[in-house]
Amino acid sequence: MGGTIGIIVDISLNSLVLSGVFLIVAIGLNIIYGLSRIMNMGHGALYAVGAYTGYTLVATGFNYFVALVIAPIIVGGIGLLIERTIIAPMRKRSMVYTLILTYGLMFFLDGMIKYVWGNKPCFIDLPAFMQGTLSILGTQYPIFRLVTLFLIAGIMGGLMLFLNKTKVGLILRASSTIPEMVSCLGINMSYVHMGAFVLGCIMAAMAGIIAGPLTTIDPLMGSEMLISSFVVIVIGGLGSLRGAVLAALLIGFVQTLAEFFITDLAMVIVYVLMAVILAFMPRGILGEGKFE
């Protein structure tokens, strides 16, 4: 009996952790899309760059938690450079242009990753206290996964505070509703778009470094995550926060089950579900999506 409960606890906690990572990546993607109508195909690659940067920082002697702060800042800087040099000049064009542009960005970043870090998988060395396990209801649960859960909660809480309690957050929220009126109040929308892109990149990088220890860091992690986060925002409804939370929980759970029972069938079900939702509920499971 204890064994069964242990498995349930394992699966539940694992899927929560995975859902959290999906959620953070997907929210980053959603913020960029919601504010500037750019579907950033390079988002997964930026997530991977975050993970690799974190790996390098830890490997060169930085504390894991310090790396958790520095890596997103570095990736945010890369995002700023990308936005100002290639995305901003394309903004007035139709969405197809930015889609192709960011698709190219994905290949460029993937290539850079292979150039800088090679093809071999990397592993983040965790601080000693995170390496053990904790006994929870009959299962020995890895401590680092519990820490990751707290980090996810912290990141989400921090994001909510930023959006709800700061002037920049206020401007971002207003801009996601009536951007034209925001510009009539004296705010340069070009900077709003820039801020949204950088914030999205920071979210991707944070997800990358907290996901690093969960999986191996390899050149494929970015494109896998891009697909998963697409599924999350499509099922949740573009621009819907509550929808994204629900969809992330769903995808995290299904993928955990799939890994546990070593079957890919579960993911097939997810894609079928996505196709059905795309066809019949273009605004996501809660019908809350702001765009179709």
Partner 1 sequence: MEKRNKILNIEGIQTYYGVSHVIQGLSMYVENQEAVSILGRNGVGKTTTLRTIMGLTPPRGGSIHINGVDTTKAPPHKISKLGVAYVPAERHIFPGLSVEENLMMAARPGKGKDPWTLEKVCDHFPVLADRTKQDGSTLSGGEQQMLAIGRALISNPEIIIMDEPSQGLSPLLVQMITDVVLKFCISSGITMLIVEQNYRMALKVASRHYLMGTKGKIVKIASTKELMEDPEIIQSHLSV
Site of interaction with partner 1 (CB under 8 A): 167, 170-171, 173-174, 177-178, 180-189
At its nearest, how many Å lie between partner 1 and the CB of residue 56?
40
Report phi then psi at 142, rounded to 5: -60, 130
> Whose Cβ is closer to partner 1: residue 76's or residue 239's?
239
Residue 27: what residue type? I
> Whose Cβ is closer to partner 1: residue 182's or residue 238's?
182
> Whose Cβ is closer to partner 1: residue 138's or residue 179's?
179
Contact at 8 Å (CB) between 76 and 202?
Answer: yes
At its nearest, how many Å lie between partner 1 and the CB of residue 165?
11
Q: Which residues contact 242 (CB under 8 A, 6 or more apart)?
A: 236, 286, 288
> Whose Cβ is closer to partner 1: residue 56's or residue 190's?
190
Report phi then psi at 87, rounded to 5: -80, -50
Q: Which residues contact 180 (CB under 8 A, 6 or more apart)?
A: none
At its nearest, how many Å lie between partner 1 and the CB of residue 68?
30
> Whose Cβ is closer to partner 1: residue 120's or residue 167's?
167
At its nearest, how many Å lie between partner 1 and the CB of residue 79?
23
The sign of the torsion formed by the CA atoms of 276, 280, 286, 292 equals positive
Residues found in the chain: 292
At its nearest, how many Å lie between partner 1 and the CB of residue 160?
13
Cα–Cα distance between 197 and 77 in angstroms, integer?
11
Cα–Cα distance between 206 and 175 in angstroms, integer?
24
Cα–Cα distance between 4 and 207 in angstroms, integer?
31
At its nearest, how many Å lie between partner 1 and the CB of residue 34?
12
Question: Which pair of tokens denotes residue 269?
Answer: 């079900």
Instruction: Tell me which DSSP letter residue 142 carries.
Output: E
2 burial level (CB within 10 Å; 0-12, 13-18, 19+): exposed
Beta strands in 96-244 (DSSP E): 133-136, 139-142
> Whose Cβ is closer to partner 1: residue 58's or residue 172's?
172
Closest of 64, 79, 182 to residue 126, by C-alpha:
64
At its nearest, how many Å lie between partner 1 and the CB of residue 183?
4
At its nearest, how many Å lie between partner 1 and the CB of residue 182?
7
> Whose Cβ is closer to partner 1: residue 114's or residue 242's?
242
> Whose Cβ is closer to partner 1: residue 208's or residue 284's?
284
